[in-house]
Structure 1
């Protein structure tokens, strides 16, 4: 909800931080989804992380489609937040690459470990809004 306050010094209305707080709340939710899908679990002794998308990908066809649906939710939320169409197309390309290559048996499962489409899409959104990932973790 956008609210405005009269600033007597500048003699004009200014936006309150409510928009910024709402944006951070949505970005935190998207960050949680991307983390769950791409980097929730770390293989001990390595720097390799994976998430539900890699596990779902083990189920032929249905698993990759489920991961793509979650990715489309992230893209739709970005659209609702005002991310421009050229970045939305880039995000859809990431989902398509993950879905198409991820559906190839064995090679697709290895691809899912290293190509983290949800995380890439979140980075595009954060870059657009000029928000650092640390802000999503720290300011609760």
Structure 2
């Protein structure tokens, strides 16, 4: 049940706590918003704000990089080791570099989903170090 006091993104209630599960839910919501919040009409291919905002030259890349950096910051708050944080930052750097190339970069940006890759790194870490934070999807 949605709590009216919690912030919402795309109709998803987001917890405001600093516990592992709350941070994990916010990161998952950000990844969904950035990478798979819409379907391409006529197909079943998901895209997100990362692909759409990335179409705006320079400013789009700055905004999507900042939003992706939030996921790395949240991972730091979850206690991921520095080498995983660097790997996540590398994913964002590659995504930004690819997206900076006009048109071709925007198409490639849809295929290289840095935020999804970074979410996978976080989930793998949490499954190993914080199994109580697992969300059972049903």
What is the TM-score with the length of structure 2 in the denominator? 0.78
Cα distance in 1 between the residues matched to 2:30 and 2:137: 14
- Partner of 2:52 in structure 1? 55
Which one of 88, 92, 111 corresponds to residue 85 of structure 2? 88
Which one of 70, 74, 82 corresponds to residue 77 of structure 1? 74
Over aligned residues, Cα RMSD in angstroms?
A: 1.8
| Structure ID, larger Rg | 1
1:46 shift after superposition: 2.8
1:28 aligns with 2:25: yes
1:22 shift after superposition: 2.1
Could you list the structure 1 runs, at least 4 aligned residues long, displaced by more than 6 angstroms after superposition. Answer: none
What is the TM-score with the length of structure 1 in the denominator? 0.77
1:99 aligns with 2:92: no
- Higher mean alpha-carbon deviation, 75-84 vs 42-51, is at 42-51
- Partner of 2:124 in structure 1? 127
- What is the total number of aligned residue pairs between the two structures? 116
Gaps of 5+ in 2: 1-17
Deviations 1:6-65 (A, max 9, x none): xxxxxxxxxxxxxxx921111011100010001111124434211001011110011011
Gaps of 5+ in 1: 1-20
- SS of 2:135's partner is helix
